[in-house]
Structure 1
Amino acid sequence: MTYLQNHTILSSGDLDEVRESIKNLASRHDLDVKGHNAEFNARVAAVECDDISLMHVAFGNSRLTVESSEEDDDGLLLYIVTSGAGVAQHCGQELEFFPNAGFMRDLAAPVSATEDNFSAFVLRLSKDKLKNYTRSVVGEDVEINGLRFDPVIDPTTPGWNVFCNTVHYVAEALDGPLRELHNPIVTTQMKDILVAQCLSLLPNSYQDIVNGRTVTEVVPYYIKRARDYIHAHADKKLGLADISAAAGCGYRGLQKGFMDAFGMTPMAYLRVVRLKRVRAILKAEPYGKTVSEIARQWGFTHMGRFAQDYHREFGELPSETIRKHG
């Protein structure tokens, strides 16, 4: 079956051309064809669904090796295999794939794979946008940390089957009756369906929150000490050495403990705490000090970068927060 037939952007047997196309759509992949008589004839199709992209890639009757390094802290690629088989190494796990199986690739980590006669849907996602969607569902008062997906997805679970059916439905709709409609309301609804099911049905660190379940997570005592120290001294000049000393552990243990507990490094956690302090002031006293003064008070010296971080965390600029609460 040819998926997204009316959205084909490339059909080629040229490896370099295919590499460039995939790099522009998703991320850089170093592809290499194995075997002298391999029939490499790649097809790439892609369609925008509001602000996420749905692709289908197929590599013909060939065996490929794939190497891709870490390159994007925000990006995720969700694969739904439509044909072929293979195995990948990613995030310290071995992932086997076959028709109807799936796996989640975090672009912040490298991957290596071997693929035979491979084709798949690929959904490009943003962690920040998924986080903002979660916040819009559960409210701003609920504490949500870094987003982590389990790379391995059990293909026998009902949730995965529902999600796969939805992806096929969206692909058929965008390739058929909606192809000429160009209605942003409809495409936004399609995007919302995919995002909601991705967060609620696939194994990830927000799944319990999105589904209204109580989240209980055991945090090591030394990570609690570091967390409490950050909250108590967020207005001071802090470095990794200060936090590590307060926790009573080494840098490596601190970094791993924060990634396991919160899905982010200690310094990233500190930045989020500071952003929340700035936001609380902007909401409570919108016409007091200037945004720059408040930001500098909480350790932000580069205003352009501060505005980007603020928007990434809360889905709005500081000026928008002031207007809402003025």
Structure 2
Amino acid sequence: MNVLTPRLAAHRLLATTDLDEAREGVAGELCPHDLFPRGRWAHDDDERGRGGFSLRHHRAPFAEVALHWIDYGSDVEVRVAGMPFWLVQVPLAGAASVDDGGGGRGTRRGVAVVGSALVCGPGSPWRMRYAPGTPRVMLQVPSALVHRRREMAGLAGLAGRATAGAGIAPVLDLTTGAGAAFRRLLDVALDDVEALGSAGPVPLATRSLAVALVDSLISAQHAASGGEEPGALRAAANRSCVARAVRYVEEHCDEPLTTADIAAAVGVGVRALQAGYAQHLGETPMAHLRTVRLHRVREDLSAGAAESVTEAAARWGLTHLGRLSVQYREAFGESPSATLRRTR
């Protein structure tokens, strides 16, 4: 099936270009939230319904869980104070990002494109952003069900017994290992629901599949959060994963990032990310971050967007001016002050 073909078509809930109707309709099926357009019309109430905003929301119950297909049609931001369930979001196109609003070194954040998924646990505030053209499938799982299945997995020695949202990896790689197994089961569940159409009671076999889907999610989360990983996940991060990391660094290079932060954001372990960078880019994640920051400093200095080298360096997280001067000259063949002088 074409990934842009709406899923769960027999379970349409809402189609609207009205922002308030969209917010209230989605809140009724998920949880209360704030919805903000982020395009040229974001602050113009009279422009509601323009700029490409067009919500389509499909939802199908699947035993104890629920499957959703949703598309806002434009660039939007969603903020929730907390959810009483787990939410897994799988982009079918475009890109989506999430963070818990902390803003500091401990902030949980991530970006997902095709081949990955965002995972938001219960209890925490979340800020979610969706690029235009990001239809996605979502799995909604009650917290109590995750808790029960985690306890069973923990007792069997198959996964950690952590509860609620603590310690979750915000991004799952769905292209290999446990993440790929979860994606395959999710596709089976979607196909099963679509085969049933709008039929009545869910068969017993579907209930078993729903539980298997949750168990697979727990396994993938355990691996992505640093538990024992299959051999495929211990290998170097693949090209797609490294590309997501590169994009994440470029979008967050003004923040105090570490290699662990970047790895968590794209859903792989630190060693896998380091190996992937070495294999595909020939450098380390921190070297890439430094290069991106140097280029941002040069852009600001060249455009006259900073009054001093110190201002530009601080803006992009380069606080050691002596080291900056050496690295800048190595990269661009001149000192940062020389670049700044040309704009005056």
Query: Same fold by TM (over 0.5)?
Result: yes
Instruction: Name the residue aligned to 1:65.
Output: 77
Q: What's the offset of the Cα at 1:109?
A: 1.3
CA contact (8 A) 1:144 1:206 kept: no
Counterpart among 174, 177, 201 of residue 158 in structure 1: 177
CA contact (8 A) 2:59 2:66 kept: yes
CA contact (8 A) 1:200 1:207 kept: no
1:104 and 1:190 map into 2 onto residues whose CA distance is 20
Counterpart among 29, 36, 56 of residue 32 in structure 1: 36
Change in Cα spacing, 1:48 to 1:31, as seen in structure 2 (3 Å) is same
CA contact (8 A) 2:98 2:118 kept: no
- The amino acid that maps onto 1:38 is G
Q: What's the offset of the Cα at 1:207?
A: 9.3
Q: Please give the secondary structure, in 1, of the residue aligned with 2:32.
A: coil
Change in Cα spacing, 1:136 to 1:202, as seen in structure 2 (3 Å) is closer
2:221 and 2:162 map into 1 onto residues whose CA distance is 17
2:14 and 2:99 map into 1 onto residues whose CA distance is 27
2:10 and 2:154 map into 1 onto residues whose CA distance is 38
Q: Please give the secondary structure, in 2, of the residue aligned with 1:11.
A: strand
1:135 and 1:67 map into 2 onto residues whose CA distance is 30
2:110 and 2:67 map into 1 onto residues whose CA distance is 22
Change in Cα spacing, 1:105 to 1:134, as seen in structure 2 (3 Å) is closer
CA contact (8 A) 1:199 1:206 kept: no
Deviations 1:38-95 (A, max 9, x none): 11111111111111111111112x11122222x34x4211111112214322261331
- The amino acid that maps onto 1:64 is V
Q: What's the offset of the Cα at 1:178?
A: 6.2
- The amino acid that maps onto 2:40 is G
Change in Cα spacing, 1:205 to 1:3, as seen in structure 2 (3 Å) is closer
2:86 and 2:188 map into 1 onto residues whose CA distance is 21
Which structure shows the bigger proportion of residues in strand conformation?
1
Counterpart among 21, 26, 29 of residue 22 in structure 1: 26
Change in Cα spacing, 1:202 to 1:171, as seen in structure 2 (3 Å) is same
CA contact (8 A) 2:115 2:173 kept: no
Deviations 1:281-309 (A, max 9, x none): xxxxxxxxxxxxxxxxxxxxxxxxxxxxx
Deviations 1:9-33 (A, max 9, x none): 1111111111112112222221122
Deviations 1:100-142 (A, max 9, x none): 3211112311122332122211111123222222444565999
Instruction: Name the residue aligned to 1:230.
Output: none
Alignment of 1:1-326 (within 5 A): 1-33=5-37, 34-36=39-41, 37-60=50-73, 62-69=74-81, 71-72=82-83, 74-90=84-100, 92-117=107-132, 118-136=134-152, 144-147=161-164, 148=166, 149-177=168-196, 179-180=198-199, 182-203=201-222
1:171 and 1:183 map into 2 onto residues whose CA distance is 13
- The amino acid that maps onto 1:45 is H
Instruction: Name the residue aligned to 2:301.
Output: none
Change in Cα spacing, 1:141 to 1:86, as seen in structure 2 (3 Å) is closer
Change in Cα spacing, 1:47 to 1:157, as seen in structure 2 (3 Å) is same
Change in Cα spacing, 1:7 to 1:145, as seen in structure 2 (3 Å) is same
Q: Please give the secondary structure, in 1, of the residue aligned with 2:136.
A: strand
Please provide the CA RMSD for this pair. Answer: 3.0
Q: Please give the secondary structure, in 1, of the residue aligned with 2:114.
A: coil
In percent, how many aligned pairs have the same letter? 16
- Unpaired runs of at least 5, structure 2: 42-49, 231-344
Q: What's the offset of the Cα at 1:177?
A: 4.0
1:113 and 1:181 map into 2 onto residues whose CA distance is 33
Structure 1, 31-40 or 136-145: larger mean CA deviation? 136-145
TM-score (normalised: structure 1): 0.56
CA contact (8 A) 2:63 2:202 kept: no
Change in Cα spacing, 1:208 to 1:183, as seen in structure 2 (3 Å) is same
Aligned residues: 208
CA contact (8 A) 1:38 1:63 kept: no
Q: What's the offset of the Cα at 1:203?
A: 3.0
- Unpaired runs of at least 5, structure 1: 212-326
Deviations 1:221-251 (A, max 9, x none): xxxxxxxxxxxxxxxxxxxxxxxxxxxxxxx
Change in Cα spacing, 1:123 to 1:141, as seen in structure 2 (3 Å) is closer
1:8 and 1:100 map into 2 onto residues whose CA distance is 25
